Structure 1
Amino acid sequence: MHRARWFEFIRRPLALLAGATLLVAADASAQSAAATSAGGAVRPARTVEGRVRIPVSRGGDSTGMGAAANVWVTLHRVGKDSAGPIDSVRSDAGGRYRFRYTPFGAGEAVYFASTTYSGIAYFTAPLRVAAASGADTEITVFDTTSRTFPLSVKGRHFIVSKADSNEMRTVVEVFELSNDSVRTLVASEATGAAPTWSVAIPAAAVDVRANEGEISPDAFAAQNGRVSVFAPIAPGVKQVAFSYKLPASSFPLRVRSESPVVVFEVLVEEPQSFVRGQGFTAVDPVALEGRNFRRFLAQDLKADAELVVEVPAGATPGRNLYIAGLLVAVGLLMMLALTRSMQRAAAKRGVVAPSLRPAEPTVPLADRLAQEIAALDAIYARQESPSDAVTAAYEARRAELKAALAQALAEAPAGR
């Protein structure tokens, strides 16, 4: 779902609210009491002013966007003490909506707005300021289609662990899929409906399961040597992550790229491992969760390209692979960079590209970098007990973004 990739940390509380449509605010006395902090100070009221937009074929603005009028917009609160919708309103003829609310309960609670369009939920960024407006409160919705079309693969990560005591290796795969259309792709409700996306996995794969990412296990299936996703895929980039186990006898392992891939990364745990394939190059190894991985990269891989993953025979048994969450976070960072690159390339061609956070072409680079920092912070916040490796990766990327933001602010015209 649009923008859901960095709202995964609120997915479980929201699941309990899936049936909510019309909301009734709590009585005034209860709200007043709740608005008082533990220290006795009354928190000031906040406002949210935004708009809901949708791509249109005619009558829109210069970016091809028009107003989504008369749709319900819901204000949510998610905190450790409680989670739920607190107000709702319909957008006006111009797609505009407005909320006034008073924060209550735990101070670290997150507030955000959402709307459901054609059965698909879309979200704003976290509302962290007293008067939220602009890009942080804009919600872009899309019409849906069940007519399948290929999704482009912006990034693919293939991670192979050491063999365990049963001579089984855990493989984690992470894909960054891009819907380059202006419609949300949904699975058809017809019998035998085609999935929104599918990819082959080795025939010997067992214990196939969806990993932490943007796809609910309920929308994930593995059968007949393929992994299939039935979740809606909105315009922009969406991440799919899954894992499986392979017997040692499956190696050397041949992997085929069914579609073109912008960046293909392979990580293999043993130092004696090797990846053969056109375009693949060994780069500096990486350490994840205290374990070392050889790293191989290829760019602009063509469809039907093949690679072979070679591992040493009789390797020392290792632990199961516990790095899926980190790889999803690492993959997301690549996804953010790819999305920004797509936006810049499209802007040069005068084309409006689907994006992770749709924004006007005139949004300054400094603002976009600030939004990426906020998104990265939200991803890290969802980790209940982040490891040292995850924390290091987060801090390193945040430092890079902050440095880029400082440079962008320094280069901004005076008076900005």
Structure 2
Amino acid sequence: MPRLPSFLRLLALTLVVATATATATATALTAQPRAVDGRVRRPVNVNADSTGMGPAAGTWVTLHRVGKDTAGPIDSVRTDAQGHYRFRYTPFGSGDGVYFASTTWGGIAYFTPPLKNAESRGDDAEITVFDTTSVRFQLTVKGRHFIVGKSDTTQFRTVIEVFELSNDSLRTLVATDTTSPMPTWSIAIPASALDVRANDGEISPDAFVAGPGRVSVYSPIAPGIKQVAFSYKVPNSSFPLSMRAEGGAVVFEVLLEEPQGFVTGKGFANVDPVALEGRTFRRFLSQDVQPNAELIIELPSSGAPARNLYIAGLLVAIGLLMMVVLMRSMQRRAASRVAVEPTMRPRESDAPWHERLAQEIAALDETYARIAEPSDTVKQAYNTRRTELKGALAAALADLGTRR
């Protein structure tokens, strides 16, 4: 594309700046004032046997704006005796700005949903806070999704795990504040897993730690449902993959991109396949999975590597057979040198040793020629064995010439 003359480029830039300025000005002029009328609640003991929700009085609530141009707090106010708070504000800046209110309770931040309406009240402006505890208790796995992709060129498969964790208590679970803090949640992963990382979700990567055969989460988990997602890679050699449903699951879903993949485990059923991002997955589903229930994920190995592995094994077997034949022949020849004259030839029913070596080389070459795309392992096995046979053949011919 030809470049514009300098004065035209300057004119175009001026028009872009002018348009952006006009848009921002128009947005500021047409923006209508908004109101937020909400409350902050917390669990309270109604009596010795029950807990209800009461006001969180005297806590600071902050109104925030987050946009591409600016981000930060706009205003703050304390809740009254009934836990109510109010804000009045006028949107400003770029049109992509998001507004929300937050408060901090027990060192944990809690937020409203994005404030989209001219008047936000009720559930849209309500914030529920909870006391914290570091005493570990079991989180309910409402949903577990185990997704296995196809094998890549390095013979690895990408696995994505997604959990919906439910804190059914009235306290926010936090990591212990010690030199060796206990995580708020942890789960086992295959020992062969590599490149483990947190995915986009409700868990900050800073609060996600991967160790040998295990991942741990250290972020606070408030009452309700929180999603945890992470991914890793496992080699094809890890399959069939045997695993335990640690902690169980209300719903356990396994998705396999391999058309011939299969899941074996109590309660798992093959249901209709699903399409994700243009890729089709076999789907296996089980409900009310008991803690530590066992399942096995079976996947077919890649055709070419399996065939190459078979052929490599065949070549190794041929090599071992030839070594046995060679050792026996050498033993017979050594014995013949002691019992008979050196010029005595083998029986006519026995093929000469050099001819048998030549036949083995020909058979080895014929087997190798049938391989369309031999792997490096096959090539190395073939070249090594052929060199050995050629050396043995040269020695046999030299010995034959000497005897003649």
Q: Cα RMSD between the aligned structures?
A: 2.2
Report Cα offsets for 1:92-131 as digits up to 9, x if no partner. Answer: 1111101011111123321110111111111112111112
Most deviating of 254-263 and 177-186: 254-263
CA deviation after TM superposition for structure 1 residue 66, in Å: 0.6
| Structure 1 residue aligned with 2:213 | 225
1:58, CA displacement in angstroms? 2.6
Identify unmatched segments of 5+ residues in structure 1: 1-32, 318-416
Equivalent position amino acid for 1:226 in 2: R
For the pair 1:252 / 2:240, whether they are aligned, the reply is: yes
- Specify whether residues 39 and 132 from structure 1 end up closer, same or farther in structure 2 by C-alpha distance, changes over 3 A only: closer
The residue number in structure 1 matching 2:173 is 185
Q: CA deviation at 1:44?
A: 2.4
What's 1:310 paired with? 298
One-letter identity of the residue aligned with 1:175: F
1:148 pairs with 2:175: no
> Is 1:286 matched up with 2:254?
no
Q: Which residue of 2 aligns with 1:135?
A: 123
**3-state DSSP of counterpart to 1:64:** strand
2:206 alignment partner, SS class: helix
Q: Deviations over 1:332-385 (max 9, x none)?
A: xxxxxxxxxxxxxxxxxxxxxxxxxxxxxxxxxxxxxxxxxxxxxxxxxxxxxx
Q: Answer with 39-48 or 185-194: which moved more.
A: 39-48
The answer to which structure has the higher strand fraction is 2
How do residues 16-31 of structure 1 correspond to structure 2 at under 5 angstroms? Answer: none
Aligned AA for 2:248?
A: P
Gaps of 5+ in 2: 1-20, 306-404
CA contact (8 A) 1:35 1:104 kept: no
| 3-state SS in 1 of match to 2:132 | strand
| In structure 2, C-alpha distance between the alignment counterparts of 1:315 and 1:198, rounded to whole Å | 36
Distance change (3 Å), C-alpha of 1:35 and 1:89? farther
Q: Give the whole-Å Cα distance in 2 for the aligned partners of 1:107 and 1:231.
A: 32
The 2-side partners of 1:40 and 1:141 are apart by 34
Q: Which residue pairs with 1:71 in the alignment? A: 59
Q: Distance in 2 between matches of 1:253 and 1:52?
A: 48
CA distance, structure 2, for counterparts of residue 59 and residue 70 of structure 1? 23
1:113 aligns with 2:113: no
Q: Tell me the residue number matched to 1:198.
A: 186
Q: Quick one: distance in 2 between partners of 1:66 and 1:124?
A: 18
Alignment of 1:50-69 (within 5 A): 50-58=38-46, 64-69=52-57
Asked whether the equivalents of residues 24 and 94 of structure 2 are also in contact (C-alpha less than 8 Å), the reply is: no
Percent sequence identity is 67
Q: 1:63 to 1:251 in 2, by over 3 A?
A: same
State the shift of 1:225 in Å: 1.3
Q: Distance in 2 between matches of 1:39 and 1:299?
A: 51
Per the TM alignment, residue 37 of structure 1 is displaced from its structure 2 partner at its CA by 4.1
Greater share of helix: 2
Give 1:64 shift.
0.5
TM-score, with normalisation over the residues of structure 1? Answer: 0.65
- Secondary structure of 1:38's counterpart equals helix
Corresponding residue SS for 2:144: strand
Task: Identify if the C-alpha distance between structure 1 residues 214 and 40 changes in structure 2 by more than 3 Å, giving closer, same or farther.
Answer: closer
For residues 313-352 of structure 1, the aligned pairs below 5 Å read: 313-314=301-302
SS state of the match for residue 196, structure 2?
strand
Q: Alignment partner of 2:69: what SS?
A: coil
d(CA) in 2 for partners of 1:239 and 1:50? 26
1:365-384 correspondence to structure 2 within 5 Å: none
Q: Secondary structure at the match of 1:249?
A: helix
| Alpha-carbon offset, residue 45 of structure 1 | 1.4
**Does 2:66 match 1:86?**
no
Matched, 1:210 2:182: no
Q: Is the 8 A contact 2:34 2:88 kept in 1?
A: yes
Q: How far, CA to CA, are the matches of 1:297 and 1:142 in structure 2?
A: 35
SS at match of 2:31: coil
The structure-2 alpha-carbon separation of the partners of 1:42 and 1:287, relative to structure 1 and needing over 3 Å to count, comes to closer
Rate the CA distance shift 1:67–1:59 in 2: closer, same or farther, 3 A. farther
Matched residues in 2 for 1:270 and 1:220: separation? 29
Give, in whole Å, the separation in 2 of the partners of 1:301 and 1:167. 31
1:58-90 per-position Cα deviation (integer Å, ceiling 9, x unaligned): 379x97001111111010112222221111111
Query: Contact between 1:35 and 1:105, CA under 8 Å: does it hold in 2?
Result: no
Answer with 1 or 2: which has the greater Rg: 2
Question: When the two structures are superposed, what TM-score results if normalisation uses the length of structure 2?
Answer: 0.67
Q: In 2, are the aligned partners of 1:163 and 1:316 still within 8 Å (CA)?
A: no
